[in-house]
Amino acid sequence: MTTRIVLGSASAARAAILERAGIPFTQVPADIDEAALVTEISKPRVQAQALATAKAHAVADRLMTEQRVTEATYILAADSVFELEGQPFGKPHRPQIARERWRNQRGKTGTLHTGHCVIAMLAGQSQRVLQETVSATVTFANVSDAVIDDYVATGEPLGVAGGFTLEGYGATMVSAVNGDPNAVLGLSLRAVRELLERLDVRLTQLWDTHE
């Protein structure tokens, strides 16, 4: 029987991590009311995990309803929340917000929390649900106002949690990470590999070097 990995997320960054790692997958976006869920949970670390788990369940429900599950399927969902000085931060969306946040966060250290959830679907039913939250600290370089303006002008910070990323333009703005850098990018493949191992699936066996 073949093994099917479903990424329950619309995130291009997460899809890119799986693609670069040579993992075959299909992408099914989860349709959940993030705002409603987040307002009930105050701790950023718990928020990230709750969002990831809600997304995985939403995708599992959708696949079951559509009766699309005929082979062993593992739904993988993840969500990230950035925490600075005890507060959760999502995407800044607007240039002015991104600029203000960067003027506050330069030179400081925050924590990026990424919740991971894997749901194993066998014989068309959800059989097991596994979770892991991976947190990593991120230390920002003490950049000048001019560099912040240059970065905001690229548009990159507007669409990412905390207004930064480790690759792309953001590589110039971050001085250190303590933890799994792929979790900071949106998906810890170390965590995914270990969650699947607990379900007796060897992720690395899906690499096409085995075919």
CB 175 within 8 Å of CB 141: yes
211 touches a second copy by CB under 8 A: no
Alpha carbon of 99 to those of 114, 160, 163, 167, 207: distances in Å? 24, 14, 9, 19, 42
Residue 128 or 202 with smaller CB distance to a second copy: 202
Residue 112 found at the interface with a second copy (CB under 8 A) = no
Q: What is the phi-psi region of residue 96: left when phi exceeds 0, alpha when psi lies from -120 to 50, beta otherwise?
A: alpha
Among the options 79, 145, 149, 200, which is catalytic?
Answer: 79
> CB 95 → a second copy: shortest distance, Å?
12
Measured between its terminal Cα atoms, the distance across the chain in Å is 14
| Residues 52-91: x where in contact with a second copy by CB under 8 A, - otherwise, as a string | ----------------------------------------
Contact predicate 58/31, CB 8 Å: yes
Scanning 78-86, 88-96, 123-131, 186-194 for contacts with a second copy by CB under 8 A, the matching segment is 186-194
Element (H, E) at 26: strand 26-27
**Contact between 107 and a second copy per CB under 8 A:** no
Q: Give the nearest distance from C-beta 205 to a second copy in angstroms.
A: 6
User: What distance in Å separates the CA atoms of residue 136 and residue 181, rounded to the nearest whole number?
Assistant: 8
| 96 in contact with a second copy (CB under 8 A) | no
Q: How far is the CB of 104 from a second copy (least distance, A)?
A: 19
Helix (H) or strand (E) holding 36: helix 34-39
Choose one: 45-53, 82-90, 124-132, 200-208; the region binding a second copy (CB under 8 A). Answer: 200-208
**Among positions 26, 125, 127, 175, the unique one binding a second copy when judged by CB under 8 A:** 175
Q: How would you class 74 by CB atoms within 10 Å of its CB: exposed for 0-12, middle for 13-18, buried for 19 or more? A: buried
Which residues of the chain form contacts with a second copy (CB under 8 A)?
A: 17, 20-22, 136, 141, 146-147, 150-151, 153-155, 166-169, 171-182, 184, 189-190, 192-194, 202-205, 207, 209-210
Residues annotated catalytic, as ranges: 79
